[in-house]
Chain A
Amino acid sequence: MLIGWRHILGLVLAGALGAFLIAWSGIIGVGASTGHWKATDWFLHWVMRSSVRTAAIGTPVPAFTEGMLPMAAGHFEGGCAICHGSPARPRPDSVRNMLPAPPDLKDKIAGWSDAELFQIVQHGVRFTGMPAWPAAGREDEAWAMVAFLRRYPALDAEAYRSLAGLAETRPAGTGDAIGTCNGCHAPERLDAQSLIPDLSGQSATYLEQALLAYAEGKRASGIMAVATERLDDEERRTLARHFAAQPARLRQSTSGEDAARGETIALNGDPARRIPACLSCHDKAGANPAFPRLSGQPAAYLESQLKLFTGKGRGGGPFRDVMAKAVANLEAEDMAPLAAYFAGRKPAD
């Protein structure tokens, strides 16, 4: 008897039916307690490594800065350490029985390239419990996390605490939330390199609208989404009022050619390129309180927000589209001078 295509088709159908029967019978265990067979474990890891390696091909890696670290460290403590542990706290016992168990990252980072780490942080890993980054379109945040992870194996508990802001003393008599905010936003922790804004002296309207925008997903940020997810309307208002009441401070005086070029655009805009003056809305006496104060903010933060606005990734409060139109014609080389100018500008009282 010759084997014809009917036999092959029959075999395939019987195989598929058999597989369904086995799955239906329930004899395949899905319990995490017994772990995988060694062969399964090897195969799954091999598939994962291969997949990440292929996904990382052609991913351009940005330059890492010191300013990326505190933001990512703060998020690591709030979002990652509950599974992966951190130099400041061991992995909780409960996660050791996950399958696969979330690894202590100290020993794992070296085995991955920057682009591969980015793929894992940005997209998560299917079937493992590793989630994707909470906000799509914020690759800059995922890259900050990669920059932090590169530094991670060398961090002892004290160095980690100082990056993540855990050592911050919390003001007596205030709620826990204010202390959590200050873990990253405390003004004395910020410098020109910081990607974290200074909240002190900012308008309460702006702060409240920003917190609401994070909660409603209108301002995309994985870090702020995790940090603010438990706030209700009343807490948002309280936090906004608290930080608005803090005195604004002059951070550093930036001088030089860059800031001078920024000043021209800030004061006059660039009519030929259809760019309005920044100061016609921002940092102006009598301005709409929904327009944020820029003077004295960290330069790196300001530059990152301009990049997000021109890249359509910023979102924000009710006035986000006004700002997006205002900066639509801004070029990449305008952003650093503008940021330098506002960072060194004295905040009005």
Chain B
Amino acid sequence: MPARPCGPYRPSGTTARSTAIHRRALPLLLIPLSGCSGIQSALDPAGDEAAAIYTLFLVMVAGGALIWLAVVGLLLHAARRREAPWSEKTAGRLIAWGGVAFPVAVLLALLAYAVWLMPAIRPWLAHSAPAARPIEVTGEQFWWRIRYPAAEGMPAFETANELRLPVGARAVFALKAQDVIHSFWIPALGGKMDMIPGRTNTLSLLPTRAGVFRAPCAEFCGASHTLMAFSVVVMEPEDYAAWRRAQAGGNPATGSEGERLFAGHGCAGCHGIRGLTETASLGPDLTFFGQRQTVGAGTLANTAENVARFIRNPDKVKPGAKMPAFDMLPDGDIAAMADYLVGLK
């Protein structure tokens, strides 16, 4: 095999075709980029902490790209045929500057930058004594119990699987776990932080843009780990205040068929609905269920059909769910209860 001349490797006769392939492949290459925005992306920040992480990410990527380009450039340069090789002294100087001094300087700079960013990414350092009482979020297999503290004369209340926050106000979370380790992560706002049984971890986030975001459990917690998520609805302050005021009243009894069946079949033995007489809290609270984005903690879209599907056999929708199957109930009963729940707005 003849020695190949130095220079970029280019098999003969492929030049024209490869540009055509490039032109066609370009849209395909852009597809992964579409994952960068959306309801569950750390690259489309909607909060201070996520923005700090995003900045750090950009600096790292840009810096990494520059260094990569420099190294590749150097490699190409070194591969060129040259009449006079470098003297030992020159080469030694290159190694000392490029191989020792440069990495030390860059790594030190990055470390300094990351340490400087720390208070922004983990605000508990700066806000160790927050004035606001924390929202308590407890991970349970496989859903999220959310307890809002009393505020401005409004009583504390419990909800599940959907967090609502006002834009521009710092929210503090007390993170707990009921059974196994879960992890709290709202990619668009910041985080993540583990939820550990027997411990309370504190995290604080500052939402800066209204919107609906998805927050997955970020620590493997059992059969339905991948189906355990919650929605985060960041609202304008006045909308949030109206929502917060409505919470105490709940959904008063209306005497509908679905409501009667909900109580009669014993659903209220585990699920609370404020405004009805019984207030159990073993399973997810269902007050204002119709306002929520999803059924089954981020598993299905919140429609009456999906609620009915969940009631009929939770384990089929969400393996390992603690709720018993009610597939022995008549379809009409299940449909009426599903309509009732979806109508709790």
| B324 touching A325, Cβ below 8 Å | yes
CB distance from A289 to the nearest CB of B (A): 9
| B266 touching A286, Cβ below 8 Å | no
- The verdict on A326 contacting chain B, using a C-beta distance below 8 Å, is yes
Q: Which of B105-113, B116-124, B276-284, B301-309 contacts A (4 or more CB under 8 A)?
A: B276-284
| B269 touching A281, Cβ below 8 Å | yes
**Partner among B278, B325, B326, B328 whose Cβ is within 8 Å of the Cβ of A280:** B278
Tell me which residues from 264 to 297 in chain B have a Cβ below 8 Å from any Cβ of chain A: 264-266, 268-270, 278, 280-282
| B324 touching A280, Cβ below 8 Å | no
A269 and B280 contact, Cβ closer than 8 Å, known pairs A276-B270, A281-B266, A287-B264: yes
| A288 touching B265, Cβ below 8 Å | yes
The distance in angstroms between the C-alpha atoms of A178 and B271, with both chains bound, is 41
What residues of A have a CB within 8 angstroms of the CB of B269 in the complex? 269, 276-277, 280-281, 326
What residues of B have a CB within 8 angstroms of the CB of A286 in the complex? 260, 263-264
- The verdict on B322 contacting chain A, using a C-beta distance below 8 Å, is yes
Query: A268 — nearest CB in chain B belongs to which residue?
Result: B280
What residues of A have a CB within 8 angstroms of the CB of B281 in the complex? 271
- The verdict on A319 contacting chain B, using a C-beta distance below 8 Å, is yes
The 0/1 profile, CB within 8 Å of B marked 1, for residues 133-164 of chain A is 00000000000000000000000000000000
What residues of A have a CB within 8 angstroms of the CB of B280 in the complex? 269, 271, 276-277, 280
**Partner among B263, B265, B324 whose Cβ is within 8 Å of the Cβ of A321:** B324
The distance in angstroms between the C-alpha atoms of A319 and B269, with both chains bound, is 15
CB distance from B336 to the nearest CB of A (A): 13
- The verdict on A318 contacting chain B, using a C-beta distance below 8 Å, is yes
| B282 touching A287, Cβ below 8 Å | no
- The verdict on A309 contacting chain B, using a C-beta distance below 8 Å, is no
Tell me which residues from 16 to 34 in chain A have a Cβ below 8 Å from any Cβ of chain B: none
Chain A, interface residues (CB within 8 Å), range: 10 to 19
* B interface SS class: loop
The 0/1 profile, CB within 8 Å of B marked 1, for residues 321-333 of chain A is 1101110000000
The distance in angstroms between the C-alpha atoms of A325 and B269, with both chains bound, is 12
The interface size of chain B toward A, counting residues with CB under 8 Å, comes to 17
Query: A275 — nearest CB in chain B belongs to which residue?
Result: B282
The distance in angstroms between the C-alpha atoms of A324 and B324, with both chains bound, is 9
| B282 touching A325, Cβ below 8 Å | no
The distance in angstroms between the C-alpha atoms of A284 and B328, with both chains bound, is 20
The distance in angstroms between the C-alpha atoms of A287 and B325, with both chains bound, is 18
The distance in angstroms between the C-alpha atoms of A325 and B278, with both chains bound, is 20
- The verdict on A274 contacting chain B, using a C-beta distance below 8 Å, is yes
Query: A273 — nearest CB in chain B belongs to which residue?
Result: B282
| B266 touching A325, Cβ below 8 Å | no
Most buried by A among B260, B278, B324, B326: B324
| B266 touching A280, Cβ below 8 Å | yes
What residues of A have a CB within 8 angstroms of the CB of B326 in the complex? 322
The 0/1 profile, CB within 8 Å of A marked 1, for residues 227-271 of chain B is 000000000000000000000000000000000100111101110
- The verdict on A291 contacting chain B, using a C-beta distance below 8 Å, is yes
* A interface SS class: loop
Query: B261 — nearest CB in chain A belongs to which residue?
Result: A288
| A269 touching B265, Cβ below 8 Å | no
Tell me which residues from 316 to 345 in chain B have a Cβ below 8 Å from any Cβ of chain A: 322, 324-326, 328
Query: A317 — nearest CB in chain B belongs to which residue?
Result: B328
The 0/1 profile, CB within 8 Å of B marked 1, for residues 260-272 of chain A is 0000000001010
The distance in angstroms between the C-alpha atoms of A32 and B59, with both chains bound, is 98
| B322 touching A276, Cβ below 8 Å | no
What residues of B have a CB within 8 angstroms of the CB of A324 in the complex? 324
CB distance from A65 to the nearest CB of B (A): 32
| A287 touching B266, Cβ below 8 Å | yes
| A322 touching B324, Cβ below 8 Å | yes
What residues of A have a CB within 8 angstroms of the CB of B278 in the complex? 277, 280
What residues of A have a CB within 8 angstroms of the CB of B260 in the complex? 286
CB distance from A331 to the nearest CB of B (A): 17
| B325 touching A321, Cβ below 8 Å | yes
| B264 touching A288, Cβ below 8 Å | yes
The distance in angstroms between the C-alpha atoms of A288 and B328, with both chains bound, is 12
| A269 touching B328, Cβ below 8 Å | no
| A319 touching B263, Cβ below 8 Å | no
The distance in angstroms between the C-alpha atoms of A318 and B328, with both chains bound, is 6
What residues of A have a CB within 8 angstroms of the CB of B270 in the complex? 276, 280
CB distance from A32 to the nearest CB of B (A): 49
A280 and B264 contact, Cβ closer than 8 Å, known pairs A271-B281, A274-B282, A322-B324: no
The distance in angstroms between the C-alpha atoms of A222 and B326, with both chains bound, is 28
CB distance from B270 to the nearest CB of A (A): 5
Most buried by A among B266, B268, B324: B266
Query: B283 — nearest CB in chain A belongs to which residue?
Result: A276
The distance in angstroms between the C-alpha atoms of A281 and B268, with both chains bound, is 9
What residues of A have a CB within 8 angstroms of the CB of B266 in the complex? 276, 280-281, 287-288, 291, 322
The distance in angstroms between the C-alpha atoms of A322 and B268, with both chains bound, is 13
CB distance from B231 to the nearest CB of A (A): 25
What residues of B have a CB within 8 angstroms of the CB of A319 in the complex? 328
A325 and B264 contact, Cβ closer than 8 Å, known pairs A271-B282, A281-B269: no
Query: A291 — nearest CB in chain B belongs to which residue?
Result: B266
Query: B263 — nearest CB in chain A belongs to which residue?
Result: A286
| A280 touching B322, Cβ below 8 Å | no
The 0/1 profile, CB within 8 Å of B marked 1, for residues 292-312 of chain A is 000000000000000000000
Tell me which residues from 52 to 88 in chain B have a Cβ below 8 Å from any Cβ of chain A: none
| A276 touching B282, Cβ below 8 Å | yes
Between-chain CB contacts (< 8 Å), 20 pairs: A269-B269, A269-B282, A274-B282, A276-B266, A276-B270, A276-B280, A277-B280, A280-B268, A280-B269, A280-B278, A281-B265, A281-B266, A286-B263, A291-B266, A318-B328, A319-B328, A321-B325, A322-B266, A322-B324, A324-B324
Residues of A within 8 A of B (CB): 269, 271, 274, 276-277, 280-281, 284, 286-288, 291, 318-319, 321-322, 324-326
What 10 A-B pairs are tightest by C-beta distance, nearest first? A280-B269, A281-B266, A318-B328, A276-B269, A322-B324, A325-B324, A286-B264, A288-B265, A288-B264, A287-B264
Inter-chain pairs besides A280-B266, A284-B264, 14 sampled, C-beta below 8 Å:
A271-B281, A274-B282, A274-B322, A277-B278, A280-B268, A280-B269, A280-B278, A281-B265, A288-B264, A288-B266, A321-B324, A321-B325, A322-B324, A325-B324
